[in-house]
Amino acid sequence: MSIESKFPVNDWQLALEALNDGVWNLNVQTSEVWFSEKWHQTFGYSKEEVKTLEAWLSKLHPGDVADGTDQFERLLRGEIKTYSTTIRYKEPSGDGYKWALSKAIVFDRDQDGNPRRIIGTHTDITSQKKSEQALIESKRRYKALFEYSAAMICTHDINGIITSINPYTLELLGYTEQEIVGKPVTNLIHEKYRHNFALQYMVEIRKKGKASGIMHVVKKNGQLAYLLYHNHLFKQSDDVQYVIGFGQDFTDRIMAEDALRHSMETFSSVFTYSATGIGLVSPEGRWLDANMALCEMTEYSKQELLNMSFQDITHSEDLKADLILVQRMLNKELSTYNLEKRYITKSGKIIWILLTVSLVWKADGSPDFFISQLMDVTRRKQLLDEINNKNTELQATQVSLQKKITQLEELSHIIAHNLRGPAANIKLLADILKSTTEQTSGTADENSMANLMSSEQAIAFIHDASTSLMNTLESVLMIAKISLNKEMPYDDCDIEAIAEDIKNQLHGLLVEKKADFELKLGVKKISYPKIYMESILYNLLNNALKYSDPQKDAKITISTRPEGKHVVLSVGDNGLGINLQMYGHKIFKLNQVFHDNKDSKGVGLFLIKTQIESLGGTIEVKSEEKVGSEFTVTF
């Protein structure tokens, strides 16, 4: 039986037409399969890899084997004449699959009608399938993009009628789909901008095929929204054209830019026209910008400052404190700081500045620039210094006046105490002389004072009393002269020479007291009024001799030493000493005597204390009974 008689003409032609594709032949009874060379070239498998039906099926995608089984069995049963499906072959490299259009017919049956041989073709349709899959995927992605994108997407026809709009846009604008779709896109535009938008947008989209810009859209609640749009014109045919529009809500950015613009304009006005100096400074200290007030303050032009750093014009004594504060701010220990410092202007003048500094940071957390505000407080500092000086002078004057009041009180006591006695004696003696005169004329009583003293004796007593009175007056005048701070010339006082001169004056007393005299001079000359220095040393040495201990030989030590900016002079002895706990508060008072000595009047220590303090010095004493005393003078 010929092939033509067993198979219809159409089926036989189909087999012949498939010869240009990969041809396969399956022996149903033995499961052996044969593939043409074209098939092996197309799908990449060798003959040894696909000799049996089982090996062949192992090269297919598992899902395709299951999907094609039902149709294949129907072919075997004769229910259908032609088997046709798409299958996927694994790439021999394992990297993917190739698509094939599989067609087959039963080529031979046995006497009972059971199929013995099947012949078929495999046509490589990988490219076609990929295109179909790409189209499907593109549609799927577009649908997802349209429905789920957080961007505005809509379409409208060539006349501007909206045909679709995505959920995000509806949510953003507050409208429903029914309120938008089928309406002109210009209905969404704010009426202030609607006419110009309609003219410009539609002309541009038709001529150029695309348009972009900012739409001023009114939301359903009446609020204005700024939308940045990019729209494109697409043509399916000359008669079918549509526009896809993409938009972003730019409202927050526009508002932020407006706020930033307003802020910058405000800052620019403040920066430019402020009477306070304002400068922008880099983290390294270089001037980035400076306003007119700062330039006038420092006497530098803006360009000159921009070529300098703040360190260049800061007074060297103030720079360290400023740099420490700058570093603390860079370390984020401070958010701002205030400092009074000095700048040196272009002409070399020193000005005081009240500086307030803040730091602007970049988004990445690094320092951007400092904002420095500077106020010239030179005049205020000068006034404060003048006030402080005046206060210091007033305090010194107050202390001096208080001292003078105390001294004047003590002077009044001197006058009352020291002059009362001599004056009373002179009056008494004058009365005696008067009585003597009256006795001579015979008018006096026998018991009158004239009988008690002769006129010669009275005159002698008057002389002594007047001499005492004059000495007292001289002491008072000397104390008053010192107390009133009369200007005294300063001399280079040779301490050793002055001490030797005083020793000569007190020679007899030195011999009587068997005194040992020692000099320890760390400073040989002291700048001081010589008359005061002689008075101080004379009184201190004289006291040391007068109040020496009769039970032992006197020992007196004069020493000097530097102490900072001052010079210290001390006179120590091993004499009787003073009970400071009992008399310490009186020791430098006038007319205070602490030992029985007929020559003591209590004036010497008061005089030298007055002299020393009138020139800004101090005197102190250390003393212990039966051990000795040491008087220390600081000049």
Q: To which CATH superfamily is domain 487-634 assigned? A: Histidine kinase-like ATPase, C-terminal domain (3.30.565.10)
Q: Taking 60 as the threshold, does the pLDDT of residue 421 lie above it?
A: no
**Mean pLDDT, the chain, whole residue set:** 81
Question: In whole angstroms, what is the distance from residue 121 CA to residue 126 CA?
Answer: 15
Q: What is the pLDDT of residue 341?
A: 93
Q: What is the pLDDT of residue 270?
A: 76
Q: 3-state class of 121 per DSSP? A: strand
Strands 555-563 and 516-521: parallel
| pLDDT-based confidence at residue 158 (cuts at 50, 70, 90) | confident
Question: What value does the mean pLDDT take over residues 377-382?
Answer: 87
Question: In whole angstroms, what is the distance from residue 414 CA to residue 477 CA?
Answer: 11
pLDDT in tens, 105-122: 998 888 888 899 999 888
Residue (of 105, 109, 61) closest to 83 by Cα position: 105
| pLDDT-based confidence at residue 415 (cuts at 50, 70, 90) | low
H or E element at residue 632? strand 628-634
Q: Taking 70 as the threshold, does the pLDDT of residue 512 lie above it?
A: yes
Residues in a beta bridge with 517: 556
Alpha-carbon torsion, ordered 103, 107, 112, 116, to 10 deg: -90
Question: What value does the mean pLDDT take over residues 566-573?
Answer: 92
Q: What is the pLDDT of residue 585?
A: 67
Amino acid at site 267: F
User: How many alpha carbons lie under 13 Å from residue 6 in its C-beta half-sphere?
Assistant: 13
Sign of the alpha-carbon dihedral angle for 454, 456, 459, 460: negative
Residue, of 296 and 273, whose pLDDT is higher: 296
Task: Find out whether 568 and 560 touch, Cβ atoms under 8 Å.
Answer: yes
Strands 350-361 and 336-344: antiparallel
Distance of CA 474 to the CA centre of its chain: 70
Strands 350-361 and 367-376: antiparallel
Cα–Cα separations (whole angstroms), residue 219 to 150, 171, 180, 424, 433: 17, 10, 12, 118, 131
What ranges make up the beta strands (E) of 299-439? 336-344, 350-361, 367-376
Task: Give the range among 38-47, 245-254, 297-306 with minimum mean pLDDT.
Answer: 245-254
Structure tokens given for 613: 């303090």
| pLDDT-based confidence at residue 569 (cuts at 50, 70, 90) | very high
Distance of CA 22 to the CA centre of its chain: 82
pLDDT in tens, 532-552: 788 788 888 888 888 888 888
Sign of the alpha-carbon dihedral angle for 74, 76, 81, 84: positive
Q: What is the pLDDT of residue 304?
A: 95
Burial annotation 356-388 (CB, 10 A radius, 16+ → b, else e): ebebeeeeeeeeebbbbbbbbbeeebeeeeeee
- Mark residue 52 as left, alpha or beta (left: phi above 0; alpha: psi -120 to 50; beta: remaining): beta
Q: Taking 50 as the threshold, does the pLDDT of residue 450 lie above it?
A: no
Backbone angles phi, psi at 471, to 5 degrees: -60, -40
Q: Taking 70 as the threshold, does the pLDDT of residue 231 lie above it?
A: yes
Listed in sequence order, the residues at least 6 apart from 576 whose beta carbon sits closer than 8 Å to its beta carbon are 547, 548, 549, 595, 625, 626
Question: What value does the mean pLDDT take over residues 58-75?
Answer: 85
pLDDT in tens, 320-358: 999 999 999 999 999 999 999 999 999 999 999 999 999
Burial annotation 206-226 (CB, 10 A radius, 16+ → b, else e): eeeeebeeebbbbeeeeeebb
Residue (of 314, 313, 339) closest to 325 by Cα position: 339
DSSP string, 302-334: HHHHHTSBHHHHB-HHHHHHHHHHHHHHHTTS-
Question: In whole angstroms, what is the distance from residue 469 CA to residue 463 CA?
Answer: 10
| pLDDT-based confidence at residue 242 (cuts at 50, 70, 90) | confident
What's the CATH class of domain 3-125? alpha beta
- Mark residue 49 as left, alpha or beta (left: phi above 0; alpha: psi -120 to 50; beta: remaining): alpha
Q: Taking 70 as the threshold, does the pLDDT of residue 271 lie above it?
A: yes
Question: In whole angstroms, what is the distance from residue 282 CA to residue 369 CA?
Answer: 5
DSSP annotation of 451 = G
**Percent of the chain predicted with pLDDT > 70:** 77
Residue recorded with tokens 């696909």: 50
Q: What is the pLDDT of residue 383?
A: 87
Total length of the chain = 635
Question: In whole angstroms, what is the distance from residue 113 CA to residue 466 CA?
Answer: 181
Q: Taking 60 as the threshold, does the pLDDT of residue 82 lie above it?
A: yes
CATH number 3.30.450.20 is the correct assignment for the domain at 274-376: yes
Q: Which of 3.40.50.11600, 3.30.450.20, 2.40.50.100, 3.10.20.30 is the CATH number of 149-255?
A: 3.30.450.20
Question: In whole angstroms, what is the distance from residue 385 CA to residue 146 CA?
Answer: 77
| pLDDT-based confidence at residue 487 (cuts at 50, 70, 90) | low
| pLDDT-based confidence at residue 449 (cuts at 50, 70, 90) | very low
pLDDT in tens, 6-30: 444 445 444 544 455 688 889 988 9
Listed in sequence order, the residues at least 6 apart from 197 whose beta carbon sits closer than 8 Å to its beta carbon are 186, 189, 215, 216
Q: Taking 90 as the threshold, does the pLDDT of residue 369 lie above it?
A: yes
Amino acid at site 592: Q
Sign of the alpha-carbon dihedral angle for 43, 44, 45, 46: positive
Backbone angles phi, psi at 312, to 5 degrees: -65, -30
Question: In whole angstroms, what is the distance from residue 279 CA to residue 285 CA?
Answer: 11
DSSP string, 171-218: HHHT--HHHHTTSBGGGGB-HHHHHHHHHHHHHHHHHHSEEEEEEEEE
What ranges make up the beta strands (E) of 44-198? 83-90, 97-109, 115-124, 152-157, 162-165
How many angstroms separate the first and last alpha carbons of the chain? 152
Residue recorded with tokens 């900012």: 214
| pLDDT-based confidence at residue 464 (cuts at 50, 70, 90) | low
Cα–Cα separations (whole angstroms), residue 118 to 33, 35, 53, 67, 200: 9, 12, 12, 19, 69
Q: What is the pLDDT of residue 13?
A: 44
Question: In whole angstroms, what is the distance from residue 205 CA to residue 242 CA?
Answer: 10
Task: Give the range among 351-355, 396-400, 471-475 with minimum mean pLDDT.
Answer: 471-475
